[in-house]
């Protein structure tokens, strides 16, 4: 499985003049043939960013049916339904705080935590430098993946 970063969807929806748009679109069009996941916390981040530009109807569609907008599987955090909430939150927080020590932002730390938890083979992002020397998971741009 590959785990996708929010920037792929931001470029696709909001930046058609971006120099990476054509390659990004080619990758998006291949999603139905790829086992691709998108972490629920990344979806929260994306919807917050997109809320400034999407209509209320489109935002609600993204929030509740993103897997129909884009051919991705929405991944939930492990243990969420099997652990006590306080235990889950403490474990999750500790994992994120460990990644903060590697000088990562919330969005990057959450993406990496989700990728590690779901044993992703690859993270697909346009911001590969954010993950260098921080994981053993392969980090590729959409162009490199294709």
Cβ neighbors of 113 (< 8 A, separation 6 or more) are 92, 95, 96, 99
Can you give the pLDDT at residue 40? 94
Can you give the pLDDT at residue 12? 97
Taking all residues of the chain, what is their mean pLDDT, rounded to a whole number? 95
CATH of the domain at 52: 3.40.50.1010
Percent of the chain residues topping a pLDDT of 70: 100
Q: pLDDT, tens digit, for every residue of 75-117?
A: 998 877 787 889 989 999 999 999 999 999 999 999 999 999 9
Domain that holds residue 110: 2-145
Task: Report the domain count for the chain.
Answer: 1
Rounded to 5 degrees, what are φ and ψ at 104? -120, 150
Averaged pLDDT, 124-132: 95
Question: Distance between CA 100 and CA 33 in Å, rounded?
Answer: 34
pTM of this structure: 0.90
């Amino acid at each position: 499985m590959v785990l996708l970063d929010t920037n792929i969807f931001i470029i696709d929806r909001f930046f058609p003049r971006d120099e990476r748009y054509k390659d990004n679109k080619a990758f998006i069009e291949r999603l139905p043939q790829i086992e691709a996941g998108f972490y629920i916390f990344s979806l929260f981040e994306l919807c917050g960013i997109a809320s400034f530009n999407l209509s209320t109807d489109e935002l609600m569609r993204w929030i509740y049916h993103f897997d129909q907008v884009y051919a991705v599987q929405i991944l939930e955090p492990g243990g969420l339904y099997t652990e006590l909430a306080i235990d889950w939150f403490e474990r999750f927080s500790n994992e994120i705080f460990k990644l903060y020590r590697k000088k990562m932002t919330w969005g990057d730390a959450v993406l990496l935590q989700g990728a590690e938890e779901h044993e992703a083979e690859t993270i697909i992002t346009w911001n590969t430098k954010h993950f260098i020397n921080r994981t053993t998971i392969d980090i590729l741009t959409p162009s490199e993946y294709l």
